[in-house]
């Protein structure tokens, strides 16, 4: 057992673009940050092959290499990057008390939370296989829609996000099939978004439908859809399959301490990364249900580090 918990000036929880950017800024401010990666070092981008929309890479870059670059840059300035999962936190304590992997206790003057969000999936075996092998299954139309320019794709979902992504895809793709589990008139999306989808000629809504399987050996070659009312199944000849049934922010361990919305996204003071607890800051997708892009996450990571630095200065700690 530890006799005395290790004390850290700036603790960063999570290793996506937000976490590593926070680490770069915090390290350059001499806050000597320690970053715990979580179970997926690099976050969601490690499951993405081509990244064409992150500034500074005119020829594009793969997600894993981008994250390794960000990690190396953070370490260059002195960030300690550690593999480990934060499993418990007492953020109301002074200093903050954090437990890693359920056993190691540390204390911190400031905490930057960048735990991200996880996309929800249908759970189909082929969906998982093709997603993990970069075979044309995606949860982000803005990220990956460009690769299907002029092609036919399918998207599953019925909320505002699904409607927005279907509309986005319609501008790039020849045909967009929107697979909706509910019946006509029962779509969860706002009326404005429903009208936009229904008035887009190359979007075809398949009501009362569920995805039975995703076809293809190395890449998506089709999707089998079953109508829940008629029992009829048909194959959609598509090369891309987008899942837009929501994201779950990775914030469960902070429930009861940090202010969240009804979906679990951390709420911050507008124009900052400040949470309802002094010295605790939230950045990246765990506090952003609107944009969810690598570049916006990185920008908020910068904000988190600057807010932490200013907090420490005002508290006379740094």
Does position 152 have pLDDT exceeding 90, yes or no?
A: yes
Q: Average pLDDT for residues 172-183, to the nearest whole number?
A: 97
Q: Is the pLDDT confidence value at 2 over 60?
A: no
Binned at pLDDT 50, 70 and 90, residue 48 comes out as: low
How high is the pLDDT of residue 318? 60
pLDDT at 1: 47
- Give the tens place of pLDDT for each residue, 87-122: 999 999 999 999 999 999 999 999 999 999 998 999
Predicted pLDDT of residue 181: 95
Q: Domain 121-243: give its CATH code.
A: 3.50.50.60
| For the chain, domain boundaries | 6-118+247-315, 121-243
Rounded CA separation 215/204 (Å): 20
Asked if domains 6-118+247-315 and 121-243 share a fold, the reply is yes
Q: Span 138-156, mean pLDDT?
A: 95
Which has more pLDDT, 42 or 14?
14
Q: How does pLDDT run across 55-83, given as a tens digit for each residue?
A: 999 999 988 999 999 999 999 999 999 99
**Catalytic annotation present for 109:** no
**Phi then psi dihedrals of residue 202, to 5 deg:** -95, 15
CB distance 6 to 108 below 8 Å: no
Check residue 106 and give its pLDDT: 97
Q: In Å, how far are 211, 306, 309 from 107, measured between CA atoms?
A: 47, 20, 17
Contact 50, 56 (CB under 8 A): no
Work out the percent of the chain whose per-residue pLDDT is above 70.
98
Query: Of 10, 109, 144, 288, which is the active-site residue?
Result: 144
Task: Give the active site residue among 143, 173, 285, 286.
Answer: 143
Helix residue spans in the chain (DSSP H) = 17-28, 63-76, 125-132, 141-144, 160-170, 191-198, 294-315
Here the contacts of 88-96 (C-beta below 8 Å, separation 24 or greater) are 88/253, 89/253, 89/254, 89/257, 90/257, 91/254, 91/257, 91/258, 91/277, 91/280, 92/257, 92/277, 95/7, 96/11, 96/279, 96/280
Report residue 90: phi and psi, to 5°.
-115, 90
pLDDT tens sequence across 184-231: 888 989 999 999 999 999 999 999 999 999 999 999 999 999 999 999
Chain centroid, CA 16 distance in Å: 9
Catalytic residue among 140, 286, 288, 307: 140
- What pLDDT is attached to residue 31? 98
The fold for domain 6-118+247-315 equals FAD/NAD(P)-binding domain (3.50.50)
As a whole number, mean pLDDT of residues 126-150 equals: 93
Tens of pLDDT, residues 268-309: 999 999 999 999 999 999 999 999 899 999 999 999 999 999
* Residue 283 dihedral angles phi and psi, to the nearest 5°: -140, 160
* 143 belongs to the catalytic site: yes
Nearest to 162 by CA among 230, 224, 219, 242: 242
Instruction: Give me the mean pLDDT over the 176-185 stretch.
Output: 94
Known catalytic residue at 144: yes
Cα 111–chain centre separation: 19
Q: Is a pLDDT exceeding 60 seen at residue 265?
A: yes
Query: Does the global pTM surpass 0.75?
Result: yes
Q: Are residues 240 and 136 in contact, defined by beta-carbon separation less than 8 angstroms?
A: yes
pLDDT bucket at 47, cuts 50 / 70 / 90: confident
């Amino acid at each position: 057992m530890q006799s005395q918990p290790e004390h850290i000036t700036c603790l960063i929880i999570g290793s996506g673009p937000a976490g590593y950017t926070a680490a770069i800024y915090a390290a350059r401010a001499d806050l000597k940050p320690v970053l715990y990666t979580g179970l997926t070092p690099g976050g969601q981008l490690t499951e993405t092959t081509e990244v064409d929309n992150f500034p500074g890479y005119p020829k594009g870059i793969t997600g894993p290499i981008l994250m390794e670059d960000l990690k190396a840059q953070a370490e260059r300035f002195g960030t300690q990057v550690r593999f480990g999962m934060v499993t418990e936190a007492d953020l109301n304590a002074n200093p903050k008390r954090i437990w890693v992997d359920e056993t190691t206790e540390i204390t911190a003057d400031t905490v930057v939370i960048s735990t991200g969000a996880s996309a929800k999936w249908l759970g189909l075996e082929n969906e998982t296989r093709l997603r993990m092998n970069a075979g044309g299954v995606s949860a982000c139309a803005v990220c990956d829609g460009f690769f299907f320019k002029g092609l036919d794709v399918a998207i599953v979902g019925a909320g505002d996000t699904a409607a927005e992504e279907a509309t986005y895809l319609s501008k790039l793709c020849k045909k967009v099939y929107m697979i909706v589990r509910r019946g006509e008139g029962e779509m969860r999306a706002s009326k404005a978004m429903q009208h936009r989808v229904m008035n887009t000629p190359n979007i075809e809504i398949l009501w009362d439908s569920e995805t039975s399987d995703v076809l293809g050996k190395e890449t998506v070659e089709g999707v089998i859809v079953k109508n829940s009312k008629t029992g009829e199944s048909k194959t959609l000849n598509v090369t891309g399959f987008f899942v837009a049934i929501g994201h779950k922010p990775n914030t469960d361990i902070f429930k009861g301490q940090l202010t969240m919305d009804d979906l679990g996204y951390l709420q911050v003071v507008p124009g900052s990364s400040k949470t309802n607890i002094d010295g605790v800051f939230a950045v990246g997708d765990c506090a952003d249900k609107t944009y969810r892009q690598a570049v916006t996450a990185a920008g908020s990571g910068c904000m988190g580090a600057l807010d932490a630095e200013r907090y420490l200065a005002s508290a006379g700690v740094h």
